[in-house]
Structures are given as C-alpha cells and as structure tokens.
Structure 1
Amino acid sequence: MSDVSGSELRALMARVPSVEKVMASAEFAPLVSGYGRTQVLNALRDALDAWRLRAQSADAEGNPPLGALDSAQLQATVEAALRGRNESRLRSVFNLTGTVLHTNLGRALLPDESVRAVMTALTQPANLEFDLATGKRGDRDDLIDELICELTGAEAATVVNNNAAAVLLTLSALAAKKEVVVSRGELVEIGGAFRIPDIMSRAGAKLREVGTTNRTHLKDYDEAINARTALLMKVHASNYAISGFTKEAGLAEIAPLAHARGLAVAVDLGSGTLVDLSEWGLPREPTVRETVEAGADIVTFSGDKLLGGPQAGLIVGRRDLIAKIKKHPLKRALRVGKLTLAALEPVLQLYRAPEKLAERLTTLRLLTRSADEIHSAAQRVQLVLQQALGARYTVAAEPMFSQIGSGALPVDVLPSHGLVVRMADGKRGGRHLLALEKQLREMARPVIGRIADDALRLDLRCLEAADEAQLIAQLTAQYQGK
C-alpha cells in the first residue's frame, strides 16, 4: 500500500474494483456462503461508501490522503460488520447482582424439564388447541388447568401472558363500569410505573378507595359497598412493607362480608407461591391454596417469580367467574402461546413432589443455597479475578446479602458471599470502577455486578458450578491476554 497525493485522488477512486468483481472474488466466497448474497452485498456497499467518504474528507481538509483500497482490509471490515449485525441482542450473562429474580435479567431460570419441553414444542407440531380424545378443536387452557386446580384447590383456571394482564382481564370481565373497593394502603405501583389505579381505569372499572395508607378496617369495606359495587379486592403488598401503627382487614374477614352482600373477592397475590417457603428457611408468603381456602373467589399471580416458571399470569378461582373471564374479548389478545404452556406445565408438575422441589426447581435451589457453599465459590474465583484485574485493584471474598427480587419479599435478605473489588491505593474508585464495570459488561459473556460504597460487588449466589467454570475460564483468558 502506498500513499497518493491529493491530485491523484480521483484516479485512485476510479480504480476501486466494482462491487460485482469484489463479490465474485475468492476472499468473499466464504462470506456469501455463510451470510447470503443480500447481506454481504449491503455490507460491502456500506464499507465502500465509508472508504470513499473518508478519502474525500481527507482531501478536502488537507489531511494526509488515504492509501489505496486494501482488499484484505475491506474483507475484514465487511466480515466484522456482518458478525455484528447477526449477533443476537439477547445474550447470556452472569447474574452477579445478588438479585435472584432480577426483572432486567429475565427473572426465573427454568428447570431442565421445561427446557426440554420447549425444545420439543419448537421443533414438532403439538396439540395446542386440538382435543386428542375427540379429534375436535380444543381449548389451550385444558393443557394445564387441571394441574393448576390440583395444586391450588381452585375450581377452574386460565393463563395469560403476565400478572398485570391477569389483573386487567379480571377487572375488565368482572367489574367494567362498576366499582371495585380497595384499601388505600394496597394501591401499589410495580416496575415501569405500572399502578393499580391505572390498570383499574384501563379496565373500565371505578376505583373506590377505603381506609388510610396505614390503617383499613372491615367497616371501611362495609360502608363502601353500594348498588354499583362489583368486587372487593385485596392486593398483596409484595414489593413494599408498611410498619408501625398499622391495621389491615384480612381476607378471612373480608370474604364473609362480600359473600353476605352477594359480591366476589379478588386477590392479586403478585409473586404468588404454591408452597410454604418457610419449610426451606425462607420468609413465609401466603400460598395460592391458602388464599383460595380463605374465601377468595379469584386469585391472580405470576408464573415467573416465586413460582419459578416462565413469564405468565395465572388466574384461578370459581368456575363461573373463570368462565366469564375466558369469554371476554381481551382473553384472546392476552393469551399465551405454546412455548409458555410447554415451559409452565413441567414446572407445575415439579410441585407434585415438594420434597424434591429445592433440588429440581432452579429458583428455589438458588434461593436456598447456603452461605458456606457460596463462600467456597467466592474463594475459588477470587484469585483468578485478582490476576485478571492486576495490581490496580484488590479483590476480596466477603459476606454480603442477596435479595429475592421482582417485588417478592422486598425487605427480606439472604446471607450470601461474593467478591468486592476496590482500588488498591485505598482511594475512591469513581471513574475507574465505572470503567471496570463497563469492561466486565463487554466480555464475551457479560458479567453483571453492582457498584456500591466505592466498590464493585459481585454476589455469587446465582453462580452455580457450570457457570463458575465458564466464568473462571473467561477470566483466565482475560488474564493471559494481558
């Protein structure tokens, strides 16, 4: 390659080979074979346009001119562009945030049984809405509603794409143009500024607030009931807690009142669970079965939080109310596809053997990992990370606290261990820690931690054996590449 003067620029550009000649060259044959002619052609034109623009800019501004077009460099540029264009935007990451059900990182991880079921549904036709017994069209809810009812004690069930949709559909079907009585202390907001009053408005129902933020009595519900009342509603405050001078009218009080007045009670459990988590040393949450047995006529809850399944919203309750909900036009818009049903059924089946749940259900296994087990992992990773980062930083294995996440049990924490990265000179990290955090995010498999108290913190609760081996290999490669 040799530099040319500005006066020779036009002649240089004229000697650039035609697009068709480049496409037909031996260097581009593997690209065309791998990515297809259309993609390669577009990427090549972009690369040539960019080269011409740089050449013209250099000549106009009096800068040193570009050298003659290098065919090898052109091929490398096009290949890099194609690789970047075809890389999936949805990437696997290491969740070292300390939040098990991290909303931004996909919440619950599915067990192997679900993964296999989804693969089958992806690659083979399935009886999604086909009744194998009668040979006629079926209802996709039939695939799992019997199982859901078995586990919850409800009369009937249906599934939509998330719990917000479950609440929206329930209110639209049962309370449109009527009033729904809710305690002021239960008007929650979840992620993305999604608020109970807003969803009630979108459903066409009128919110009737009762009580105060911290105290609501049974008489408040009683006095609010009128001819326009459709439902009494309880919303489980799963993403916040009020303490101090408080009073809450429980479901066991509200349900008899509602039924005596000819009304139904709907309960939004949010991150509902099917088992008593205290059996595994976790904070206790009301189960769906307990809620049904306490008198709830409709219960809504998530599939991808404490349940440990795919994103879904489950609605269980009285048969007549579920039938009305399923007939509503919104049900078709909010229904789930075959992949969600394929993933959900194996998760629900795991609950038939609760004594094996902590071993088989990924979410519960991560939540119940012992601090000692995580500490051992931290010690194994600490040396490798220290070598990879070099002398500018110190890496220490220290105790820390994980959280469940996704609005589940927000004030409860889980003893854990992890790695804490600080500046070796003892100074505040500032931009250096931010740069390191960015560097980790840009690795082949991004490492996601959090910066707090002038340190980068990597909680290893969610780093199981296979992921630990991959992380160590990735860090080792980083260290050897220095």
Structure 2
Amino acid sequence: MTEDPRRRTPRTDAVLADPAVAAAAARLGRVRVKTAVAATLEACRSGAVAPEDVVAHVLAVLPASATSLRRVVNATGVVVHTNLGRAPLSPAAVEAVTVAAGATDVELDLATGRRGRRGAAALAALAARVPDAGGVHVVNNGAAALALAACALATGRRIVIARGELVEIGDGFRIPELLESTGASLREVGSTNRVHLADYEAALDDETAFVLKVHPSNFRVEGFTSSVPVDALSALCREHGVPLVVDIGSGLLAPHPRLPDEPDATTVLRDGATLVTASGDKLLGGPQAGLLLGSAELVERLRRHPLARALRVDKLTLAALEATLTGPPPPVAVALAGRPEELLARARRLALAIGPDLATAVESEGRVGGGGAPGLPLPSAAVALPADLAEPLRSGEPPVVGRVADGRLMLDLLAVPAEADDELAEVVRRVATAERAG
C-alpha cells in the first residue's frame, strides 16, 4: 500500500528552524513568516504542495521586504509623478535616511550634552539655499505650511485671495476648504479669469489677516486673463500693513532655465513677499515636507505656534532634506537637465538591446508633473513597444510603468536614470519572452 505523502508533512517548528526560513523571520518578523508557514502546511495537507517543496513555497510567498511598497521604474515621462511617490531621493539622501534611522543627535548638542535645536543643520542648509529668507521652518507637507500660516495669523479673521486661485490641490482637497478649516474666513476678489490691483485694495480692511497669492500649479488659464504680480501686490500690502503670503507650490528655490514661468522662492521674496510656502518633494527633489521662508519675525511666530508641534517633521525627513540641499543634484534636477539628444541615444541603445523586432526608439515629450509647470512639454525620448506589454510590465520585477499612446507602449527615459538602462532592457526581454511563450 502506497504511503499518503501528506503524512510526511513537516512540523511547524521544523520548517521555522530551516536556515532560509529563519533568515526570512529575522528580516520580516516571526509573525508574518509563521503565518506563511501555517498556510503552506495546510496546503501540503490538502495535497496542493509536496512535502519536499514546503520550504521553497514558504520562501516564494513571502515578500522581498517588510514593506508592501515596491520599487518601480518610472518610464511615464512624468518627472514628479504623484502616484509614484513624487520626487525620488538622491543616493545621498537615501544614505542620510539610513544613518538617521538609528539613534542620532537630532535634538542633542554633543559638545555640551544639552538639548540642541531640532534639525538645525537642515534648516541652516535651507537658509543657505535661499539667502533672501530672513527665517526658515519646515513642516510635514505643503498644505501643512499654508494651514500653519492661516491658523497662526488668520483664525477669526479674513484672508484676501483671488477667485481664480481657489484651487483644488488633488484628491478632492481644496485650498479654500483648507483655509476655512483653520477658522479663517475668505474674501474673494476679482473673477475666475481676471483680477486687478484695485480689487485687492477694495477688499483690505481691519479684518484682513493677510493677502494670499496661490500659484495655480496644476492647471493653466489662457486667453482673456490678468493677475497681479507679486511686486505690485507686496507694495499694496506694505502700504496697508498686512502680510503677503505666496504659495509657490512646487518648491523651486531659484529660477530654472527650463521652467521660465514657474515661480521660485528667491524671486518671490525679492519681489516683496512676507512669507513663501512650498513643497519639498516636488521640484526641490527632496522628501515630503512643507517649507516656510520669509520674515524672520513671522517665521519665528509660526514656529512657536502650538500647531507647529503637530506638524513637526521627523528625523528621517530632516536628514533627507539636508542631504538634498547640500548633496549632489537629486534625480528630479538630473531629469530636468536631461538633453534630448542624449536621451534619444539611450533609447536607440535600449531598443537594440531589447530587439529591433520588438522595440523602436522615438522622440517624445515628457512633463514636470506634481503640479509643476502645467502644460510645459519637456523634449525627451522613449522606447516604443507593443501596447499589450503594458500590464505584464507593471506586474514584472521590478514593475515598469510607462504610458500608452497611439496604440503603443512608450517607455519614456526622461525620469529613468541612465544606470537603470541595462535592468530595464533585461526586464522587457524577460516579460516579452514570457508573453510570447504563453
């Protein structure tokens, strides 16, 4: 009589003691690994997994790391892709996060042994990059920076803002609702497409806490339009003794030659803004953070407000921000500096490596993304593939995310580091081979 192989199902403790499984438990946690072992042993008892394959099956079903997040190759042509986590960190910033993950001197002066200023080096680096700012502060995102300003300055008072700047910033969140949630009220001026200096002047009164100018960021209005520049608005605000707060959105700290219409903190401060708010994980190319730059007295007032504690950034963000500001150019800056002819040369090499029967190098246009420079095309190059490879590549290892246009899958190289080309070619070949075999 043949022995039922299910009788050879190994014991739980025996599987957990296997060196490879034990190593996985040390990396991923014993609870997660034990759950995978229990499920595999149940499958073994039902005959779905052979006893000799139990360990291999356990290792196969376990994730590669303790996070469910997966590294993705961004071949969409969008440099700051919100759904892909916006700005990828530079190697220097990644190393800084690793250092900061352990015990650090984030709030300790090692020379005196006393408490030190939290994030002093990161704040000093930010101040050095924007010398026109009398004071700087960092909170956990761009919306938080604006909310802190409104809460500290305008609770129970009024914010003057142009109707055309009452924008929605993504996922249903809207600037007016954010501001009103702090207890401030809004005084809308102008129309959706045109606003004049006189509109602002007529709205200023004793209830005005500050005038707010918001860069539309993720849309563009063309045609019969007008807006008031920061320098004219700042002169009016000084005359009436009210602050001018400017939300530039994407975190550009200084003018950029490829983004002539994108506001930057340095220019806006020089034009007279009292306070500038911005994001750190867009054009700055750093971690998610909200930047506040401007009048030293005003920034200190915001820093000391009780809400600032709730919006405080952690040591990982401070470390990544400092490395972004002081280290080599982050990936966003590298992508924006990419030369179309070099991108096309890379696309041709990739197409040849993948196979000319499958891939073709083509010119393309990328975008900044993340609400930056809406509508501005960035000359780029892509590898064109059959559109039916889009889903298998998204499911590959690593996942490759491109865009489908004109019936083809375009793997745009604008946001793909050059050092990733060999891996990208290998993934495409592997996936295409599997699809043909299937």
State if a TM-score over 0.5 links the two structures: yes
How many residue pairs were aligned?
A: 430
- The CA distance in 2 between the partners of 1:229 and 1:417, in whole Å, is 50
Query: Amino acid of the residue matched to residue 105 of structure 2?
Result: N
1:138 aligns with 2:91: no
Structure of greater relative contact order (alpha carbons < 8 Å, 6+ residues apart): 2
Q: Which segment drifts farther, 290-299 or 34-43?
A: 34-43
Query: Amino acid of the residue matched to residue 306 of structure 2?
Result: P
Asked if the contact 1:276–1:284 (Cα under 8 Å) also holds between the matched residues in 2, the reply is no
Alignment of 1:317-396 (within 5 A): 317-349=294-326, 360-386=329-355, 394-396=358-360
- The CA distance in 2 between the partners of 1:167 and 1:267, in whole Å, is 9
404, 410, 415: which one aligns with 1:457: 410
Give the aligned partner of residue 210 of structure 1: 189
Asked if the contact 1:94–1:445 (Cα under 8 Å) also holds between the matched residues in 2, the reply is yes
Q: Could you tell me how far 1:150 is from its partner in structure 2? A: 3.3
- The CA distance in 2 between the partners of 1:91 and 1:261, in whole Å, is 52
Asked if the contact 2:44–2:50 (Cα under 8 Å) also holds between the matched residues in 1, the reply is no
1:170 aligns with 2:149: yes
- The CA distance in 1 between the partners of 2:63 and 2:119, in whole Å, is 40
Query: Residues 247 and 2 from structure 1, CA distance in 2 versus in 1: closer, same or farther, beyond 3 angstroms?
Result: farther
- The CA distance in 2 between the partners of 1:331 and 1:246, in whole Å, is 37
Give the aligned partner of residue 278 of structure 2: 301
405, 413, 416: which one aligns with 2:377: 413
Q: Which segment drifts farther, 468-477 or 233-242?
A: 468-477
439, 455, 470: which one aligns with 2:392: 439
Give the aligned partner of residue 315 of structure 1: 292
Give the aligned partner of residue 425 of structure 1: none
Q: Which segment drifts farther, 107-116 or 326-335?
A: 107-116
Q: Deviations over 1:5-32 (max 9, x none)?
A: xxxxxxx69x7467xx523547962354
Query: Residues 478 and 87 from structure 1, CA distance in 2 versus in 1: closer, same or farther, beyond 3 angstroms?
Result: farther
Counterpart secondary structure, 2:101: helix
Query: Amino acid of the residue matched to residue 283 of structure 2?
Result: L
Structure 1 length-normalised TM:
0.82
Structural RMSD (CA): 2.7
Asked if the contact 1:384–1:475 (Cα under 8 Å) also holds between the matched residues in 2, the reply is no
**Bigger Rg over Cα:** 1
Q: Could you tell me how far 1:195 is from its partner in structure 2? A: 0.9
Asked if the contact 1:175–1:205 (Cα under 8 Å) also holds between the matched residues in 2, the reply is yes
- The CA distance in 1 between the partners of 2:432 and 2:83, in whole Å, is 29
- The CA distance in 2 between the partners of 1:30 and 1:147, in whole Å, is 46
- The CA distance in 2 between the partners of 1:205 and 1:40, in whole Å, is 51
Give the aligned partner of residue 355 of structure 1: none
Query: Residues 247 and 42 from structure 1, CA distance in 2 versus in 1: closer, same or farther, beyond 3 angstroms?
Result: closer
Query: Amino acid of the residue matched to residue 329 of structure 2?
Result: R
- The CA distance in 2 between the partners of 1:293 and 1:38, in whole Å, is 56
Give the aligned partner of residue 30 of structure 1: 19
Unaligned runs of 5+ in 2: none
Asked if the contact 1:100–1:404 (Cα under 8 Å) also holds between the matched residues in 2, the reply is yes
Identity, % of aligned positions: 39
376, 392, 399: which one aligns with 2:363: 399
Alignment of 1:40-439 (within 5 A): 40-50=33-43, 70-81=50-61, 83-84=62-63, 88-123=67-102, 125-132=103-110, 134-152=112-130, 153-278=132-257, 281-349=258-326, 360-386=329-355, 394-422=358-386, 433=387, 435-439=388-392
Q: Could you tell me how far 1:386 is from its partner in structure 2? A: 3.8
Asked if the contact 1:95–1:105 (Cα under 8 Å) also holds between the matched residues in 2, the reply is yes
Q: Deviations over 1:283-316 (max 9, x none)?
A: 3423212211211111101111111222111101
